[in-house]
Structures are given as C-alpha cells and as structure tokens.
Structure 1
Amino acid sequence: MADTGFSSFDTMVDKVNRLLKDAEEAFEWPKERRKQPYAALRAVLHPLRDRLPVETVVQFGAQLPAIVRGVYYDGWKPAETPVKMSNEEFLARVRSEFPYAVEGGSEKLMRTVLKNLERHVSAGEWQHLKSRVPNSFAALLP
C-alpha cells in the first residue's frame, strides 16, 4: 500500500497500481518494464475518449480513478470530438500510440486494458458507453 501520508491519495495510488499490475500480469511483462502498462492505458484511453460524444466522455471519465481520469483527459479537445473512426482506424491509432511490441496485437491490448477499466466503473455506465457507439465498435468492447 502506498504511504503518502494522506489516505485518499494512498487509495488513488493503490487503485492505479492495481490497474497497471493487472496489465503487467495479463501480458506477463516484467516489473522493470512498468512503463508499458502505463503506455497501454494511455494508448487505449485517448482514442476511446476521442471516439465518444462529449457527454459520454464526461460521464465515463467521472467514474475513473482520479489519477486515471487525469491521463484520460490529458490533451483532450472537446470541440474536436467525437472523431469518426472505423474499428481498423481505432486499432491503428492504439497501435501508433503504444510504442512497444505486444503479443496478440492492438485488439488484445485494447480489450485487456478496457476489461481492467471495466472493474472501476458501474455496470450501468459501461452499458451506457457501449450504447453510445456504433454496434460494430461496441462489439470490440468487453
């Protein structure tokens, strides 16, 4: 457990560490490569955020752990969203934003990161998110 001296900060850090550790374990990345799970989280969150309508971005973001929320919103330009992307374009963007080789490719990376994130939002919010994207894209989501 983190020990920042502030229990609410410790809780936030612990949630993020659990999220990163889940990705490490899913891909069997060694601990000394800790930058990879963070890069994976960022590489999936940004195209997802840009693909969603502004209202859905905000509703989904409100349920993310606070530190993850900062990563999610970093660089966001609401006036430029939603960006229309095919599934192939979405996965290509994930791949372009993730600078490491990954077994299973971009789709496995995206599904793994989103499956881990799904544990941190309500079931209702997850269903709302899926209902706000085309069915073909929703099929990619866990």
Structure 2
Amino acid sequence: MSDAVPHDRQLTEARWTHIALPTGNLDAAIDFYTTMTPLVVVERFSDDAGESAWLSNEKQVETPMVLVLVSFDQDRGESLGLLQPFAHIGIEVPRREDVDAAADRARAAGCLHWEPRQMPGPVGYICALTDPDGNVVEFSHGQDVFALVRARWGSGS
C-alpha cells in the first residue's frame, strides 16, 4: 500500500470508513469473507501485536467501506465473535436469487445462520451466515438501504 494518497483522493470531511472485528484465525476469516461474500482483500498488515487485513468491495472507489479483520497474537485460536445472535454485517444484493445462492453456499459450508425468509418492510428477503468467529453476516434483497441513502442525498442511481 502506497503511503502517498493523491490530493484529489484525500478525505475532505468526516465519514464512516470501516468496522473492525477481532478474529482468532485471520486466514480462516479471510477465506470466509472472500468465498462467501463479495469482499476482496485490499491490504494485509502485520506488526508486533499481530496481523490484520482490510477487505472491501472490489474497485469500490467512490464510497469505500472496509471490513478490518484483526488477529492479535494473544487471541490466536480463540472464537471472538461479537456480532451475534442478531447483531450483524449487512450485505445487500441485487436479486432475490442472490440471497438463495448465499444460503446454498452457507448451507454446504455448514455456516447458515438463518434460512432465507421474507420479512415485512423494510427488511425484505434475507438469510444470514456465521463467519469462523461466530459473527453474523446478513444477505438481503429488497431492503433498499443503498437506494434509499443515495436517493436521500441525491446521489442518483
């Protein structure tokens, strides 16, 4: 990762950029998120306290949001899930079938937390998975979080 940030890409106002979760097994967590979700590894880091990785949607330039996975040496091998039983990371997908596909992958991997179900508005059609630490990751269709926020502040489509 380059230390120099081009001036036109620098932060100009406070904004939400990431959520950090501890993990007892960084490689297993990275494998889960890069296999079961649309996230990819942006960068990996290590220091004398442990390792971490930044994950985001590939080429998400306009409004980057990062999942920071942190594995402290003292916590290796521990299950450190914080987001459970309902607290979760939400991933919105464009089609109902994408929720079903996520559930199928999770069922096959033994990490399906909620079977797909239609919920009343504004929740929509959802399912959820659990990562290797027990954190819940929700997939939703029809929740329209992305569209509502963009419409509210005029970001268009």
TM-score normalised according to structure 1 size = 0.29
More strand by share: 2
Structure whose CA Rg is larger: 2
Instruction: Indicate the structure whose relative CO is greater, using CA pairs within 8 Å and at least 6 residues apart.
Output: 1
TM-score normalised according to structure 2 size = 0.27
